[in-house]
Amino acid sequence: MRNPQLNKHGELQHLLTLDGLPRSIITQILDTAAPFTEMAEREVKKLPLLRGKSVFNLFFENSTRTRTTFEIAAKRLSADVINLNVSTSSTKKGETLLDTVDNLCAMQADMFVVRHESSGAPHLIAQHLENTGRDHIHVVNAGDGRHAHPTQGLLDMYTIRHYKKEFHNLTVAIVGDVLHSRVARSQIAALTTLGVPEVRVIGPKTLLPTDVEKMGVRYCPTMEEGLKDVDVVMMLRLQNERMNGALLPSPQEFFKVWGLTAEKLARAKPDAIVMHPGPMNRGVEIDSAVADGSQAVILPQVTFGIAVRMAVMSMLGSH
């Protein structure tokens, strides 16, 4: 069966999830992003690759950082960018998601960047475009429910490759709220596809999916065991809004056991890098001394995120 993210020539048609995306495509995206990172140093940061194309940022859920980096990426490729904060507009009046899409298609959209609180919304839009013969329009998933956040997963892979060069000899630890994290799902899919031999997940049992080991990872019940000799530490944002339920005692308790401190990080390899998708809860998932320390690559992640999103959009817009 054809991968719904690829066209009949095997090129990227939509970016919906990293799960099932071929290694060759993930590598192609990372390779395409490399020259775009260097472009950030230039005085004129514009390329004409998407000139004349219209990119609609459809954000049904707030995210300043993701929306901004997509907007910068599209503008650097010379696209016309239209930002729609849909949570405050037509869908509140009862218009369905697909009605909104149909109306925007009538305005000659070329690409939709979609963030939605419901898992599967970007897939639904991509399917609808195919069913209605509009397969010249591309969809990029900018985060859907608890399901996936593929461009975050890709920029994380780019960051790892930048600092570690190879994937086949790494041990990577993902720490924290895996259960509610679409970022973690995308990271795990990408790391396993790229051949990382050991991916560990560390966190309280209440914040892990019940069958987490089926995702091809090793569960570690303590930070001490999980961080031992790792090359990369990927912290996850604690969904603060879920902190007060029965899942966790308190942010302070969480930090004591699962927060990343210099002392816990010392169990990792001396040249281990520390990553975080942001925004960080300092003193909950990560100590400020670590977040601002020499092993943290959290701000470079944001910079690489622009290049990776440029890569994805330029690949989609090339056919």
Name the binding residues for L-aspartate: 93, 182, 237
Within 10 angstroms of residue 219's Cβ, the number of other Cβ atoms is 16
d(CA 141, CA 151): 8
Place of tokens 């305005």: 107
Contact 202, 264 (CB under 8 A): no
**Binding site membership: which residues?**
65-66, 93, 115, 149, 152, 182, 237, 278-279
Taking a C-beta distance cutoff of 8 angstroms, is the pair 120, 96 a contact? no
The span from the CA of 260 to the CA of 225, in Å, is 13
Which one, of 214, 215, 218, lies nearest residue 200 by Cα? 218
* Contact criterion met (CB below 8 Å) for 50 and 74: yes
Annotated binding-site residues for carbamoyl phosphate read: 65-66, 115, 149, 152, 278-279
CB-CB contact of 147 with 120 (8 Å): yes
Find the helix packing angle between 150-164 and 64-76, rounded to 10°: 70
